[in-house]
Amino acid sequence: MASRQVQLKTPKGTRDWFGSDCVLRDHIFETISGVFKRHGAVPLDTPVFELKDVLTGKYGEDSRLIYDLQDQGGEACSLRFDLTVPFARWLAMNKVTQVKRYQIARVYRRDQPAIARGRLREFHQIDFDIAGEYDTMIPDSEILRIIVEVFKALELDITIKMNHRKILDGIFTVAGVPGDKIRTISSAVDKLDKSPWADVKKEMTEEKGLPEEVADKIGEYVKEKGSVREILDFLKSDSSLVEDQNIRAGIEDIELLLVYVEAFNISSSISFDLSLARGLDYYTSLIFEVLHTPQQTEVPGLPKGGKDQATQVGSIGAGGRYDNLVGIFGKKPIPCVGISFGADRIYTILKAQKEREAAAPTQEIDVYVMAFGAGKEFTGLLPERLQVCGQLWDAGIRASFSAKAKPKLPQQFKAAEGVPLAVILGQDELADGKLKIKVLGLPDGHPEKEGVLIEKTDLVEEVRKRLQR
């Protein structure tokens, strides 16, 4: 009987890891876990699947993305959706009341994949959590400090978007959202980072039955974002907001948090964004997301503008405080706060950066020596170019030239891409004992844009002076 041809591909939203990709991924794991260890964390590993009841009802609308497994052992199980709920289960099961833990493991979500943007069905999360009774906002501020340390170690520029669930719930209450709709409306607002306000408002009114005037009132508040101090001032300036008990409690938390993050010298990395909601049901107060905010720099040889994969991956970390989750599994509630880093999204950014760097022209020289001229009378000035290169080499300066007797000027400039300086020889200038030195890549209008004539005897001094700039 003929065998059926098998389609050789990985399932949608999964990928193979090999060679340099594994090396880069391991670098991410080691770098981040090194920060965790510096803060006193111990590792934890949990099963890749949990009892279905452990996961059910913990993720709000995202619960539909849980992978259920076929029952083959008398137990209904599901693949883990994140590492937070299994950690809470472990705390309750082992009656652990205080710990700093980290975990690096795969999680699974039955989502629509977009591999280029780091959205997968199987992906790695890197979690750090602090569980136990501590004074208010101290562990929370340490988590924020850890985020900054992690991305400093990975050499990535980031912004931490922050909000407080009690403040957000209070805003919904003041706007007129019924109590039984707060979580579902919160889930809609959480899409503001990906969708325009008009689409979010449509979801709240047409799909979730919220009156239009209530949605408009929410819109007045959730569009506000800025520094922690700016948004605190905004909240306290609105009498209808500060009358709400939840909002007052949230403001007290954030004011205390601000003292600690300023002591940690990380307040400039934080943006207070009232639209941040975090769709997961278990968060109780502080919530945050981490966005990659790269500095816009031109890379020689690459097109200007546009977006690469590294700028389209969405959040590369997220977390918050969840004080009630452990209590669902055990008799004793244990306050917790934590952060999950999206390892595969971080990988996507670092991989794209490496590819851009590899595509950029590179030269291991400081000066390119070229000849100017054309026509039958043009000799190419090869001996003169060799003599100038020798003069630079004798001075310890890295230099090169075209290995052609009569090179064309455009070809020489192309060969000099990525080189800081050009020394240009012309027949008439050499006859006067002069040559031209040109800093490559100067903007229009710069006084040395077209180069500067110098005495041939001053070459080494003039080159060194410009290289030091």
pLDDT per position as a tens digit, 325-349: 999 998 889 999 999 999 999 999 9
Q: Are 426 and 410 in contact (CB under 8 A)?
A: no
Residues 6 or more apart whose Cβ sits within 8 Å of residue 261 = 141, 144, 145, 228, 267, 270
- 444 marked as part of a ligand binding site: no
368 is in an annotated binding site: no
Q: How far apart are CA 269 and CA 333, in angstroms?
A: 32
Interatomic CA distance for residues 423 and 451, integer angstroms:
9
pLDDT-based confidence at residue 462 (cuts at 50, 70, 90): very high
Asked if 143 contacts 337 with a C-beta cutoff of 8 angstroms, the reply is yes
Condensed to tens digits (0 to 9), the pLDDT of residues 96-121 reads: 999 999 999 999 999 888 776 667 89
Query: Alpha-carbon distance 86 to 78, whole Å?
Result: 12
Buried b (16+ CB within 10 A) or exposed e, 299-311: eeeeeeeeeebbe
The answer to whether 99 and 42 are in contact (CB under 8 A) is yes
Q: Does 125 count as an annotated binding residue?
A: yes
Cβ atoms of 253 and 136 within 8 Å: the answer is yes
Q: Is 40 left (phi over 0), alpha (psi -120 to 50) or beta?
A: left
Q: Fold for domain 367-467?
A: Rossmann fold (3.40.50)
Nearest to 109 by CA among 160, 144, 66, 45: 66
Nearest-Å Rg of the Cα atoms of the chain is 30
pLDDT of residue 84: 97
Three-state secondary structure call for residue 321:
strand
Q: What is the pTM of this model?
A: 0.76
SS3 275: coil
Known binding residue 468? Answer is no
Topology adopted by domain 20-356: BirA Bifunctional Protein; domain 2 (3.30.930)
pLDDT tens across 41-57, in order? 999 999 999 999 999 98
* Mean pLDDT to the nearest integer, 124-141: 97
- Looking up tokens 């965790």 gives 36
Q: What's the whole-number average pLDDT of the chain?
A: 90
* Lowest mean pLDDT across 23-32, 109-118, 261-270, 276-285: 109-118
| pLDDT over threshold 80, residue 363 | no
Q: Is 84 annotated as a binding residue?
A: yes
- The closest of 368, 356, 357, 355 to 441, measured between CA atoms, is 368
C-alpha atoms less than 13 angstroms from C-alpha of 123 in its C-beta half-sphere:
28
Asked which of 118-132, 145-159, 349-363, 369-383 is least confident by mean pLDDT, the reply is 349-363
Instruction: State the average pLDDT over residues 222-246.
Output: 95
> 98 labelled as ligand-binding?
no
Q: What distance in Å separates the CA atoms of residue 154 and residue 79, rounded to the nearest whole number?
A: 30
Instruction: Determine whether the annotation assigns residue 353 to a binding site.
Output: no
Residue 368: count of CB within 10 angstroms of its CB: 25
pLDDT in tens, 10-39: 999 999 999 999 999 999 999 999 999 999
Residue listed under structure tokens 């449509």: 202
Rounded CA separation 183/37 (Å): 35
The DSSP secondary-structure symbol of 76 reads -
Q: Residues 5-14: what's their mean pLDDT?
A: 89
Could you say which DSSP state residue 121 is in? S
Q: What is the mean pLDDT of residues 415-419?
A: 87
Residue count of the chain = 469
| Distance in angstroms (rounded) separating the CA atoms of residues 93 and 105 | 20
Domain residue ranges of the chain, discontinuous segments joined by +: 20-356, 367-467
Judge contact between 36 and 128, C-beta under 8 A: yes
pLDDT-based confidence at residue 305 (cuts at 50, 70, 90)? very low
* Tokens (6 digits) for 399: 């230099």
* pLDDT band at 7; cut points 50, 70, 90: confident
